[in-house]
Homo-oligomer: A and B are copies of this chain.
Amino acid sequence: MKRESHETQDGAPHHVSHCRVTYRMTDQMAVVYYSNYFEFFEIARTDLLRATGGTYRQMEAEGFYLPVVHAACDYFLPARYDDLLAVQIWVTRLSRVRIDFSYVVTRKGESEILCRGVTRHAFTGSDGKLKRLETAWMGKLEKLISHP
């Protein structure tokens, strides 16, 4: 799962993670089962956070968790077994208590969009209660804000 960084036209970064479709992810329609895209989104989030110089693992070690409070996906075309997918990700909104991500999935090197998704996350402590994100992480995440 490689990550690449690109500049968008307005100079803000977006990121791309690459995910290979495994047999496990397919269903008897011979396409990727719909819930699996949410794992692709997770891979893209993890890679994006790594691009800040921190990691989500480290964020949890420091007592900050990002549970999903909303997730959605629109499916346009199916991905198939062994496809190498490109999952683009953007931070579209950020506050001290929440962060929104947008995702676009294509096959690598192709422009046809297979699906588009969003996830919204709260910042919480290990007890699941809202916890305002500390300044250092805010600074890192603010640099990721962009728009698909």
Q: Which positions in A face B, CB cutoff 8 Å? A: 1-2, 20, 22-24, 26-31, 33-36, 38-39, 42-43, 46, 55-57, 65, 67-76, 78, 81-82, 128
Contacts and interface: CB of A to CB of B under 8 A. Distances in A.
A46 B21 CA distance: 11
B33 A24 contact: yes
A20 B2 CA distance: 10
Given A23-B42, A42-B22, A82 B69 contact: no
List the 9 shortest-distance A-B pairs measured between CB atoms, nearest first: A72-B72, A35-B38, A28-B30, A26-B28, A34-B68, A35-B35, A57-B82, A24-B39, A26-B27
Nearest to A73: B71
Copy number in the complex reads 4
A33 B23 contact: yes
20 contacts: A1-B1, A1-B20, A22-B42, A23-B27, A23-B46, A24-B35, A28-B29, A28-B30, A29-B65, A29-B67, A35-B38, A35-B71, A46-B82, A55-B82, A67-B78, A69-B74, A70-B74, A72-B72, A72-B73, A78-B128
A70 B43 CA distance: 21
Residue in A26, A29, A82 whose Cβ sees the most chain B Cβ within 10 Å? A29
Given A56-B82, A78-B128, A42 B24 contact: yes
